[in-house]
Amino acid sequence: MRKLCIVLVIATLISSCNSKKKEDTVETAVKDSTTVSTEKSTAAKVDVYEGLLPCADCSGIETVLKIYQGDGTMESHKFELFTVYKGKSPEKEFVEKGTFNTERGLENDPNGTIYVLNWDKPAENQIYYGYYSADPEKVYMLDREKKIIKSELNYALTLKK
């Protein structure tokens, strides 16, 4: 009887150790598949704007703005801003990544949208782009007051299809 109890205790311990490993494996697999599906859904909701912005001391700033809409939460709103200063030797290239927020209303268009890049940083580090609701395929670089820069020069990026 005593040997039977010892065998049962040992069998229980061994089986409990194995079930923990299975739980860890299942939990890890679930986390991995969630991460993959989240990455796929985030990647599917990206707007890419491109253009050549004016530059005071170079031939232009080649600009690519990628807006990742994510799942609608603030944490998933990401952006990447790539700029290359053309006509300088060597060409200066910059990459900025961060989070963004949106605001409604651009000048006289209450349904226009403003992207506030680096919204979680001090105002001097924030960058503003916006588009009119009638033309969401053209995003304009905005000044510090979130107004379209009035100039004969082109401060707009175009949505890449």
Q: What CATH number matches the domain at 45-159, 1.10.240.10, 3.40.50.1360, 2.40.128.640, 3.90.1150.10? A: 2.40.128.640
| Per-residue pLDDT reduced to its tens digit, 56-92 | 989 999 999 999 988 878 788 999 999 999 988 888 7
Does the pLDDT at position 41 exceed 50?
no
Tell me 55's DSSP state.
-
Residue recorded with tokens 């007051």: 145
Percent of the chain scored above 90 by pLDDT? 60
Task: Give residue 136's pLDDT.
Answer: 95
Task: Give residue 17's pLDDT.
Answer: 53
Task: Give residue 75's pLDDT.
Answer: 80
Peptide bond into 136 cis (omega under 30): no
> Number of C-alpha atoms within 13 angstroms, CB side, residue 70?
12
| Per-residue pLDDT reduced to its tens digit, 127-138 | 999 999 999 999
| pTM of structure | 0.70
